Structure 1
Amino acid sequence: MYKKICLSLPLFLCSQLSLADWIDDSAQNVESYTIKLRQHIHQHPELGNMEFKTSELVQKELKSYGIEVRKGYAKTGVIGILKGGQAGPVMALRADMDALPIEEKTGLSFASKAKAVYQGKETSVMHGCGHDAHTAMLLGAAKALAANKDKIAGTVVFVFQPAEEGGADVDNFTQGSQIGSRKMIADGALNNPKPEVIFGMHVMAGMPSGHIFYKDGAILNSADHLRIQVNGKQVHGSMPWLGRDPIYASSQMISNMQSLVSRRADLTKGMGVISIGSIQGGTTGNVIPEQVNMVGTIRSNNEDVRKGILNELPKLIEHNAQANDATAKVEIAPYAPVTVNDKTLTKLMQPALAKINGQEKLHVLDNNASASEDFAYYGQLMPSLFIFIGATPADQDMAKAAPNHNPMFIVDDATLKTGVKSHMKFVMEYPKAAAQVQNAWNQK
């Protein structure tokens, strides 16, 4: 079709039309294949650090496309390398592969019935966050790009990462650096060839299929794990003066730690949240216990605010304990920094995003999302761009869509084509912006 149109257009416009058409055609050609892949992966989910069959599937598929495959990263991680037919930059595309310890209740024909061991206990397993879609979309894009490698200016590194949600077989609090993106980086997954830019995406419920959402700067919050042990002196509940009450001390800590946000953080830079989600102490109502244990999370969309909380919180807790003649042990374990979209990269890739499904389906977010992603660690090494893709059928009520991490979470099949096209657009359009992006990055 586009050949006929090109006859009446200037050569430059004709070449641009040709580029758009072959990407659209290629994405259309692999759509049913991508959907079948996604349904297979969905029906056979694997928990973080245990994605052995998923990893084998990824390796097999990449090899069948003629893509070089490397493994041995982060236990189950896979790297695919595709050299284009023209000189250009090294670009990385990333997908995560792990599922969640959730029992699926969607009723889909390909719903998961899988079970696995999570933290020593058997649990149901479900792709409740769309990582099955991420893996399938990147495979679909890899297949289409490999079939058109003569058109690619540069080298594409396909990053299939495990354990974005944490590991099923490790203590994620103390061993977080041994899983996910941090372990992929530590194991040299991005060393040879070394990408100069990386792109990622996430399907999101409550956003309509075919629509893309993005913003420059902070796109996702940071996340840090918090664990506090408060030790007092056990005593009968009727005689608190003879003991030292760790429950009362803990209640003050929970209240006072909020002052780190409301009174100590510079909120003109961003926001912060400190939440305690678990409190365990005591066995009966008339005994003041010896110990209380609390577990929580710390979130922010600004690294300065984040660092301020992380630096000040241990001192606040310890002083609070001293005021109650108790002791406290504070442990903080990082999960992910703020996920930040490089401003220059985002600006220069905006036209490409607009062309994927049309300008009317491209949306700039007013605020970052509150969740977190270990994709952030890649963005500390190179310019990065992370986007959201709608996962809910456009004719449904977005407000009623089951959210990510819910037993009823569903990804619309139509979403997958948008993801495939997005990956391909990133690869084809970035080389034109590479020099400007790298110059801005090097001046930081």
Structure 2
Amino acid sequence: MPTASRHTAIRLGLLAAVLANAGSTFAEQTVSPDTAQQLDQGIARVESKVVAWRRDIHQNPELSGQEIRTSKLVADHLRKLGMKVTTGVGGHGVVGLLEGGLPGKVVALRADMDALPVQEATGLPFASKAIAKHMGKDSPVMHACGHDAHTAILMGVAEVLAGMKAQIPGTIKFIFQPAEEGFSEMPSSADAQRGAQAMVTDGVMENPKVDAVFGLHVAPVIPSGVIGWRSGPILASADTVRITVEGKQTHGAAPWLGVDPIVTSAQIVSALQTVVSRSLDITKEPAVFSIGSINGGSRENIVPDSVEMLGTLRTFNEEMRTGAKERITRIAQSTATANGAKAEVSFGPSSYGVTSNDETLTEAMLPALKEAANGKIMQVPKAAGAEDFSEYQQVAPGVFFILGVKPEDRPVGPPHSPTFDLDESSFPVGMRSLAMVALTYLENN
């Protein structure tokens, strides 16, 4: 996920109780006992490999759009498993195609590979010391959001399921995605694509067409090995909002000779508070709009020409998202006009739709998730953070769930922090959950 705010929201919301019998109201369709046994045996064989891959990727992190080493590691592994492998999808994306021995539907499993511009302070023996260019400047790099675990877990799932190829009724696509965290260099235009959006544009959900897609995200605020799920919206849409206010520069001692973009910007910020409080029906879904950056001016006695503001918009409903964008634009431009200034409003390049789990598919997969976690699942609340997994869900029904990785023996920092870490003993549950939902879907369709 690209922002710390979603992780805070998840953390605050994890007061929901672990469900003792979460799947009882749903059709108890899952894999056969023989298949479950084969999964467990395969997972036991690859568990140490998965830990080793995670540590290797953690020690050699790569920023968004720079995932050259990681994508090669993944592609080489998938080729050794005998899969048809496509590289360079949406940037450094890798897609492995496992065609089962029996005819059937097509399922996609997704993991993200990129790291963050964060300096690690975990003290781990495999801690990152990597430095890379971020927005033109040298920056330390760290897997502070668990994408190293996502990649390693899905590599493990690929190996386990490749060993069961003959009995799989259908096809499984393994999607290893770059650039989930956004851009590591300024894009050439507001329409620039990266991550899931770029992979979808490159046809990752076609040839063969994907019928259902699944993914997970680790969370160090949920007990290790517990799976968090939610039907419907689980993560918010997210739009970067950029507002540029153009005034007229003058001496600070004679402001009447110019147009003050700082005062205008202050009025715009105040007026924008009504977008959520007065313009959106928050009895339907919650929403958040925040201005996080204001830049303008060079010294105390000069009224500047312009001010730039940056903010973030989060919603759980696409209609509300559209309405909020229209209201933000109208307020900014009208307030600027009233002050004799001009305001330009743009959205992006970072933009994510609502991550919304298909209700029918979620209900059908709950028994598999429950079995994968030995009954330890919990219904999590909506979180105001965002994930570009939503791009895949716009093409095919999908379910995105949470894997608890909170260590019992030590405190760890939240995602996007220098002390973020996770409990590697949760990896078998992560592997089992992805494999179980894929096979359950294929065997029951």
TM-score by length of 1: 0.90
Separation of aligned partners in 1, 2:297 and 2:418: 33
Contact 1:116 1:122 in 2 (8 A): yes
Separation of aligned partners in 2, 1:419 and 1:173: 37
1:241 paired residue number? 256
1:210 maps to a residue whose letter is: G
1:225 equivalent to 2:240? Answer yes
What is the aligned-residue RMSD (CA, Å)?
1.7
Which residue, out of 355, 374, 386, partners 2:388? 374
Separation of aligned partners in 2, 1:53 and 1:146: 23
Separation of aligned partners in 1, 2:188 and 2:177: 16
Separation of aligned partners in 2, 1:374 and 1:427: 20
1:276 maps to a residue whose letter is: I
1:387 equivalent to 2:413? Answer no
How far off its partner does 1:432 sit?
Answer: 4.3
Distance 1:175 1:205, change over 3 A: farther
1:103 equivalent to 2:114? Answer no
Q: Which runs of 5+ in 2 are unaligned?
A: 1-28
Separation of aligned partners in 2, 1:357 and 1:416: 11
How far off its partner does 1:170 sit?
Answer: 4.1
1:274 paired residue number? 289
Secondary structure of 1:102's counterpart equals: coil
Secondary structure of 2:32's counterpart equals: helix
Contact 2:272 2:331 in 1 (8 A): yes
1:90 paired residue number? 106
Distance 1:385 1:36, change over 3 A: same
Higher fraction of helix: 1
2:37 paired residue number? 21
Contact 1:201 1:389 in 2 (8 A): yes
Separation of aligned partners in 1, 2:433 and 2:138: 37
Contact 1:269 1:305 in 2 (8 A): no
Which residue, out of 50, 59, 69, partners 1:53? 69
Separation of aligned partners in 1, 2:198 and 2:169: 29
The CA deviation string for residues 298-323 of structure 1, in whole angstroms up to 9 with x for no partner, is 11112121111112211111000011
Q: Please list, as runs of the form range in 1=range in 2, the aligned pairs for 1:424-435 lying within 5 A after superposition.
A: 424-434=435-445
Distance 1:175 1:118, change over 3 A: farther
How far off its partner does 1:208 sit?
Answer: 1.3
The CA deviation string for residues 168-221 of structure 1, in whole angstroms up to 9 with x for no partner, is 2342872542x1111111112222111111001000121111000010000111
Larger radius of gyration: 1
Contact 1:100 1:127 in 2 (8 A): yes
Which residue, out of 420, 428, 431, partners 1:409? 420
1:163 paired residue number? 179
Contact 2:294 2:307 in 1 (8 A): yes
2:274 paired residue number? 259
Contact 1:348 1:433 in 2 (8 A): no
Q: Which moved more, 1:280-289 or 1:198-207?
A: 280-289
Separation of aligned partners in 2, 1:402 and 1:208: 14
Contact 1:166 1:172 in 2 (8 A): no
Which residue, out of 340, 343, 359, partners 1:328? 343
1:193 equivalent to 2:208? Answer yes
The CA deviation string for residues 4-60 of structure 1, in whole angstroms up to 9 with x for no partner, is xxxxxxxxx9x8332222222221211101000110011111111111111110011
1:205 maps to a residue whose letter is: P
**Larger relative contact order (CA 8 Å, sep ≥ 6):** 2
Contact 1:77 1:161 in 2 (8 A): yes
Separation of aligned partners in 1, 2:322 and 2:180: 22
Q: Which moved more, 1:269-278 or 1:339-348?
A: 269-278
Contact 1:86 1:154 in 2 (8 A): yes
Contact 1:99 1:127 in 2 (8 A): yes
Q: Which moved more, 1:234-243 or 1:58-67?
A: 234-243
How far off its partner does 1:285 sit?
Answer: 1.9
Secondary structure of 1:30's counterpart equals: helix
Q: Please list, as runs of the form range in 1=range in 2, the aligned pairs for 1:264-303 lying within 5 A after superposition.
A: 264-303=279-318
1:209 equivalent to 2:221? Answer no
Separation of aligned partners in 1, 2:317 and 2:192: 21
Q: Which runs of 5+ in 1 are unaligned?
A: 1-12, 435-444
Q: Please list, as runs of the form range in 1=range in 2, the aligned pairs for 1:305-344 lying within 5 A after superposition.
A: 305-333=320-348, 335-344=351-360
The CA deviation string for residues 84-139 of structure 1, in whole angstroms up to 9 with x for no partner, is 12221100000111111111110101111111111111111111111110100000
The CA deviation string for residues 208-264 of structure 1, in whole angstroms up to 9 with x for no partner, is 110000100001110111111111122333333332211111011111112111111
Contact 1:221 1:369 in 2 (8 A): yes
Separation of aligned partners in 2, 1:56 and 1:393: 30
Contact 1:318 1:329 in 2 (8 A): yes
Separation of aligned partners in 1, 2:354 and 2:342: 32
How far off its partner does 1:395 sit?
Answer: 5.1
2:323 maps to a residue whose letter is: G
Q: Which moved more, 1:265-274 or 1:345-354?
A: 265-274
1:10 paired residue number? none
1:185 maps to a residue whose letter is: V
1:372 maps to a residue whose letter is: A
The CA deviation string for residues 265-320 of structure 1, in whole angstroms up to 9 with x for no partner, is 11122122111111111122222222111111111112121111112211111000
Separation of aligned partners in 1, 2:253 and 2:130: 51
1:43 maps to a residue whose letter is: Q
1:132 equivalent to 2:143? Answer no
Separation of aligned partners in 1, 2:408 and 2:385: 23
Distance 1:389 1:173, change over 3 A: farther
Secondary structure of 1:213's counterpart equals: strand
Separation of aligned partners in 2, 1:172 and 1:395: 46
Secondary structure of 1:111's counterpart equals: coil
Separation of aligned partners in 2, 1:50 and 1:401: 27
How far off its partner does 1:433 sit?
Answer: 4.3
1:79 equivalent to 2:95? Answer yes
1:418 paired residue number? 429
Kindly tell me the number of residue pairs found equivalent between the two proteins. 416
Q: How much identity, in percent, do the aligned residues show?
A: 44
1:362 equivalent to 2:373? Answer no
